[in-house]
Amino acid sequence: MINACSRLGESETAIQLCMEIPKARKKAEALHARSKQFIISGLKFVSEVEKVQGKGYVIINAKNKIKDTMIGTIASILSASSLYEEGTIITTMAYYENKIKISSRIVGREGRNVREVLARVIEKTGGEVGGHSVAAGCLIDQEKENEFIDNLKKNLEIELVKI
């Protein structure tokens, strides 16, 4: 519930819940239910949308169809599912104001370092990157959307050749 409150911009409710303020529980429960609905609708969208796919990677550009605060959760759920084979890099993208929030996860624990892959792309397109080897993300300007996708595909395909 704490996570749901924060993801929906209600951090004060999360804090009040931790402080056991009675009115906060009801509001937190409602936000938690709403958060679950965002996840369900996000997963439904992902199942229907056309993806950019190659050997060992999937790129899902949700644009404004999935909330930016939920896109990492969607990537994590997909990476923990049985939809993709171990070592596949799943990258999800969602609009955030005039930026794009990007979350990458690796299926399983073996494979390429997703933070390093994103860092190489960000060197060319600009932006911010963070995370670690199996879960990382970045933030880029919306005008760099196509350039980012093209560079990411090239990096993922080149990386595959190196292995």
Does CATH place domain 50-162 in 3.10.310.40?
yes
**102-126: average pLDDT:** 94
What pTM value is reported for the model? 0.89
- Residue-averaged pLDDT of the chain: 93
3-state secondary structure (DSSP) of residue 59: strand
> pLDDT tens digits, residue range 56-81?
999 999 999 999 999 999 999 999 99
Q: Is residue 160's pLDDT more than 90?
A: no
pLDDT of amino acid 111: 86
- Pick from 120, 119, 122, 117: nearest CA to 140: 122
d(CA 110, CA 93): 23
Q: Is residue 163's pLDDT more than 70?
A: no
The full set of domain ranges for the chain reads 2-45, 50-162
**93-98: average pLDDT:** 96
Q: Which residues, in sequence order, are CB contacts of 57 under 8 Å at separation 6+? A: 88, 89, 90, 91, 153, 156
> pLDDT tens digits, residue range 143-154?
999 999 999 999
3-state secondary structure (DSSP) of residue 88: coil
Q: Which residues, in sequence order, are CB contacts of 123 under 8 Å at separation 6+? A: none
Q: Is residue 106's pLDDT more than 50?
A: yes
Query: In whole angstroms, what separates CA 26 from the centre of its chain?
Result: 28
pLDDT of amino acid 16: 95
pLDDT of amino acid 157: 86
